[in-house]
Structure formats: C-alpha cells, structure tokens
Amino acid sequence: MVSSNETNNQESALVAQTLQEGWLLKQQDLNRAIAVLEEGLRAAMASEDLLLGVIADLELALALIESGINEQLQEAKSLLIVAGKKLKDCSTCYQQKAYLLYCQGRWNLQQAKFEDGVKFLNLAQKSPQLKPGLDVLVNCALANYRANKGEFEQALPLLEQLLDRLPEEDDLDRALILKQLGLLYLLLDDHEHAAAYLEQCLDLALHIEHKYLRIEAMAGLSHVAIAQAEYETAGMLIQERLQIIDKPGDLSWAAYAYVDLAEAMLGAGEINDAHECIKAEVIPRFDQLQDQRGIAKTKRVLGLIWLHKIMDGLVSLNEETIEIAEDYLLEASMLFEQHQMLKHYAVTLADMARLYNISANTQYQFQFQGKSLRSLEMAMATLDQFEIRPPILDAQIEELFSVI
C-alpha cells in the first residue's frame, strides 16, 4: 500500500519535472513553454505544494513577460500578485521571495514603471542567500537599465565583476552577461568591443542551443553593422534571424527583426522597399504587441524614410512632407525619452536637426534654423547626463551644429 506522503512526493516530483521541461522550452519555443508551464501550474495547484505553486506562478509569469504581448503581461501581473500572497507568511522562503522580486522588477521595467522596477531589483540584489543564477539575472537587468540611462560607469563594472566570478562551465549565464556587455559597448559607440562580446555570446548560444539568445546576439551584431554603415552585412544577419524566428509565435522577435531590416534597407538606398516593409511587416506586429519601445523605433525609421524621400527627390520639399517626417521623429523622441532610452533619444534629436537643416532652404528658413538649434541643444544636454559620452554621436552632433 502506498502512503499519502509517498503519493504527494510522486505528484510533486511530476510537477517539478513539468516545470523543468517548461523552463528548458523557454530557450527554444516560448509558446510551447507557456503551454507546458500552464499545465505545471494546474498540477501544482492540485498538489497543494506551496513552494511548487510559487515556482509555477513565477516561471509562467516570467515567460509571459518575455513574450512582450500586452495581454500576457496583464496575466503575468495577476500571477505575481498570487505568488506574493502565497509567500507573505513564509519566513524561510528566501530564494522564492528573491525570484518574486526579480520578476516584479522585470514586469515594472517592461511597463516603463522604472522607479518601482529598480526598487524591486535592488531588493532582490540584497536578498539573503541569493543563488548565482538569479544573481546574474538581477544584475544584468540592473546593468541594462543603467546603461540605457547613460550610467556606464555603474553598469560596466557590475557586468565585469559578474563575469569574473562566474564558473567556467556556466555557459548560459556567461552568454547572458556577454550579450549585455555587447549591448553596453554598442551604446558607447565602441563597435569593436561590442561585436567581440556579441560574437562570443552567439557562439555560446549555438553551443547550448538557445534560440532566443542566438536571435538577440544576431540582433546586436546587425545593429553594429548598421552603425558602421555595413548594410549588406546587416541585411544578411537579419535574414538569418528571420529564418529561425517562428513568425506567428515569436511575435516580438519578428517585429524587431523587420524594423531592423527596414533600417538596413533604408541605409542601402532601398527607400520604397523599406517603407513597404514597415507598413506590411512592422506596424501590424507592434500594434498587436502594444510595445511602446518598438513603436518608437518604428516611428524613427518612418521619419528617416520621409527624410530620405525628401533628400532623394522622391517627394517634394514642402511644408507637408517636412511635417510628416517631423511628426514621426518627434513622436519617436518623446517615446524614447519616456522609456529612458537616452541614447536613442539623442540620436533622434540629431535626426530632427538633419531634417531642419535641409528644410532651411525653404521660405521657413529662420523657423527651421531655430528648430535645428533647439534639437541639437537638447541632444547635447542629453549627452551631458552620460557618465561617458558616445564619441561618434558626440562628433555628429558637433558637426550638425557647425552647419546651422
């Protein structure tokens, strides 16, 4: 005869196995992972195992956050509330409470609630008995936030220290840190270091067969290529990304890949193709996601498309076309500022100055010269907030000042 304790242990073991399967699937197929984790959550609720129930809540919540889909983000919020109630009276659940704080931090940062997001991540960072893997996740999230605010002297040592103390065999955490370092150096205009770190991340992602890390490393490398005006290389990297993205399922990854493709097309002079790509592949996806960061990037590329159409004579240089380009760039700049993506904000202000400079030959010459000057002053004021100024962007802004 099997005792009730043995039955409960068997049930808990099966639930844990299901949750582990869901966690592994998050590296390959997020939608399947969500389905498996939902199954694990139902089984955990039936088993009445408190800690397994919390883990199921948090793993599913994190998968839903990573999807980037607005409806799933709201589901994640509900799961985090449930997990918090379950842990409220547990005095020994240090790891689970730390993981909850990390998930709450990620959710709030995703929703542009930065003060709350950083508060939760700082609390997670200070949690007693913080596991190494969770330590990496928490500090990478904090470093990413700080880098986007231009706080490079805080973000860089944080990542370097994480990397130094990481066990050699920990490929997943190493890849996560390398990706973050690559993106940080990209923000600093240090394309050589950015590419080196992202290529190391890509190698590890291929080794551990982590599809999403592979996509993110390739995305970073395509951004390096675009920054270096290597548009053919960027296009090939993006097409390779699209081949491994499950377009119906990986909605967010597909949306960002296509907006990058449009930017690469634009750089290569394929202006109309870039515009069609935005209309057909990008706008419908970001509208479904309601991803304000992605919408900001889309509006910037649309502004640049109209700027290039004016410069190449595809449309007339007049008040209407200038206003179309200006509106897109203005909306993009406001969203970038709202989401504390300060380098993107400064870059878009410089784009606006370029538009105003070519528009200064119209009957509205003095009006546009004044707008260009204000845009550049705001861009320089933004760079003044950075602990380290990105040298290429700094030089571009100085050059634009010189032609007003």
Q: 208 in helix, strand or coil?
A: helix
Q: How many CB atoms lie within 10 A of CB 313?
A: 8
Q: How many CA atoms lie within 13 A of 133 on its CB side?
A: 6
The three-class DSSP label of residue 334 is helix
Could you tell me the CA-to-CA distances from 369 to 351, 361, 375, 383, 401 in Å, in that order?
14, 10, 10, 21, 10
**Residue 90, token pair as written in the block:** 């547990």
Evaluate whether 344 touches 336 at the Cβ level (below 8 Å): yes
Q: What tokens does 252 get?
A: 């967010």
Q: What percent of the chain has pLDDT over 90?
A: 85
pLDDT band at 362 (very low <50, low <70, confident <90, very high): low
Amino acid 9: pLDDT? 64
* DSSP character string of 238-283: HHHHHHHS-TTT-HHHHHHHHHHHHHHHHHTT-HHHHHHHIIIIIH
Q: Which residues contact 358 (CB under 8 A, 6 or more apart)?
A: 307, 310, 311, 317
What pLDDT, on a 0 to 100 scale, did the predictor assign at position 79?
Answer: 98
Average pLDDT of the chain to the nearest whole number = 94
Is the pLDDT at 248 greater than 90? The verdict is no
For residue 7, pLDDT beyond 80: no
**Better-predicted residue by pLDDT, 365 or 323:** 323
Contact between 167 and 141 (Cβ < 8 Å):
no
pLDDT band at 8 (very low <50, low <70, confident <90, very high): low
- pLDDT at residue 403, rounded to an integer: 86
4: confidence class by pLDDT, cuts 50, 70, 90: very low
Tens-place pLDDT, residues 199-236 = 999 999 999 999 999 999 999 999 999 999 999 999 99
Against a cut of 0.85, is the pTM above it? yes
- The angle, 0 to 180 degrees and rounded to 10, between the axes of the packed helices 319-338 and 342-359 is 170
**Confidence check: pLDDT of 1 > 90:** no
Q: Could you tell me how far CA 159 lies from the centroid of its own chain?
A: 17
CATH of domain 1-87+94-130: 1.25.40
Distance from C-alpha of 255 to C-alpha of 251, rounded to nearest angstrom: 6
| pLDDT, tens digit (0-9, with 9 covering 90-100), for 10-63 | 767 888 899 899 999 999 999 999 999 999 999 998 887 888 999 999 999 999
Three-state DSSP class for residue 139 = helix
Burial of 320 (0-12, 13-18, 19+ CB in 10 A): exposed
Q: Which residues contact 57 (CB under 8 A, 6 or more apart)?
A: 41, 79, 80, 82, 83, 86
